[in-house]
């Protein structure tokens, strides 16, 4: 395993932004914590960067002097992770843009604690190689598959509006990625809105053609979350965890080939597919800001307009305890 390299400037940035939580929350951190009383960190992880961090063991080493033990539970998807948070089974996890909106609408006590940089090139509208569709305008009246209530659902709404089309101008077919791929192969749909690595796999193995990615349309971030209570009481643990995740991210930026090899093994995909996905990925971890939560608010408001959530969601109520 190669050493993880990260710049001093970047580490300083994260410490200033995330480490401020320790001072801000000092009044509510029990004195026993400061004296080294045992604590736990229960991480719910999907197959991705958290798995890579788990394999390195660096988080456990950093938290050992604080008498913090770490446990890991793997989940198949973000919504299941957030349900585990809601019932108190985990303290931390990673998720895309859409699941936290639904979780907050359901009353989950989540706190956004960090975000990736935007990754607009990692989601796209695809068509079969021989399709007559050449532009977004050509999607009018067509059957388009996507995962309902996902980040690409929001992306498509914004993309259509940007090109003068309405949501009702297309015929949506709500399918999970595996089912959508099968429909795409059978040509029973005209287009597919999907994210990596499914996006890259469709390009490499099916010859799928790109109509538009999310560049200039939406940001497409991933998020790290905790519960409001855990984030407030354990700011030092959260700061170290985000710092270690950023180290993995920055290592991946400098070692894309090895990153692709590790992810290919983790996902069970051919390396050329993962090479394509990694090649267009953007790297970096950021503290949560009001502007970032504003992006999430736009998604929440759009989902309310579409009838996907039952009530208005105030995303600021899921802000981290240290939000300026």
- Rounded Cα distance between 109 and 100, Å, is 10
Which one has a higher pLDDT value, 6 or 57?
A: 57
3-17, 43-57, 236-250: which has the highest mean pLDDT? 236-250
Which one has a higher pLDDT value, 319 or 28?
A: 319
Q: Which two tokens stand for residue 303?
A: 């989902």
Residue 324 is predicted with a pLDDT of: 67
Q: Is the pLDDT reported for residue 71 higher than 70?
A: yes
* CB-based burial, 39-54: b 16+ in 10 Å, e otherwise: bebbbbbbeebbbbbb
The per-residue pLDDT for range 113-142, each reduced to its tens digit, is 999 999 999 999 999 999 999 999 999 999
Domains of the chain: 8-117+221-318 (3.40.190.10), 120-213 (3.40.190.10)
Of 34-43, 108-117, 184-193, the range with the lowest mean pLDDT is: 34-43
Query: If you write DSSP's letter for every residue of 138-199 in order, what string do you get?
Result: GGTT-EEEE-TTSHHHHHHHHHHHHTT--GGGSEEEE--HHHHHHHHHHT-SSEEEEETTHH
**pLDDT class of 76 with cuts at 50, 70, 90:** confident
Residue 25 is predicted with a pLDDT of: 40
Q: Is the pLDDT reported for residue 159 higher than 90?
A: yes
């Amino acid at each position: 395993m190669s050493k993880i390299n990260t710049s001093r400037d970047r580490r300083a940035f994260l410490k200033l932004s995330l480490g401020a939580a320790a001072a801000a929350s000092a009044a509510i951190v029990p004195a026993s914590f400061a004296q080294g009383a045992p604590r736990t960190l229960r991480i719910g992880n999907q197959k991705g960067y958290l798995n890579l961090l788990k394999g390195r063991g660096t988080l456990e080493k950093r938290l050992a002097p604080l008498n913090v033990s770490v446990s890991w539970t793997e989940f198949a998807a973000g919504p299941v992770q957030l349900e585990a948070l809601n019932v108190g089974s985990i303290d931390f996890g990673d998720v895309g843009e859409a699941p936290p909106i639904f979780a907050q609408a359901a009353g989950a006590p989540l706190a956004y604690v960090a975000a990736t940089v935007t990754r607009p090139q990692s989601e796209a509208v695809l068509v079969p190689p021989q399709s007559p569709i050449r532009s977004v305008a050509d999607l009018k009246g067509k059957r388009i598959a996507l995962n309902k209530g996902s980040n690409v659902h929001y992306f498509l709404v914004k993309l259509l509006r940007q090109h003068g089309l309405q949501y009702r101008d297309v015929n949506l077919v709500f399918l999970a990625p595996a089912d959508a791929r099968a429909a795409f192969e059978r040509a029973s749909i005209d287009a597919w809105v999907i994210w990596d690595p499914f996006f890259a796999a469709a390009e490499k193995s099916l010859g799928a053609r790109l109509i538009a990615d999310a560049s200039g349309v939406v940001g497409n971030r991933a998020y790290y979350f905790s519960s409001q209570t855990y984030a407030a009481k354990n700011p030092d643990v959260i700061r170290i965890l985000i710092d270690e995740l950023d180290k993995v991210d920055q290592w991946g930026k400098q070692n894309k080939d090895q990153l692709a090899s590790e992810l290919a093994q983790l996902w069970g995909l051919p390396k050329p597919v993962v090479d394509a996905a990694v090649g267009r990925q953007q790297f970096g971890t950021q503290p949560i800001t009001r502007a970032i939560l504003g992006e999430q608010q736009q998604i929440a408001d759009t989902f309310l307009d579409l009838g996907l959530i039952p009530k208005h969601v105030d995303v600021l109520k899921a802000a981290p305890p240290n939000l300026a």
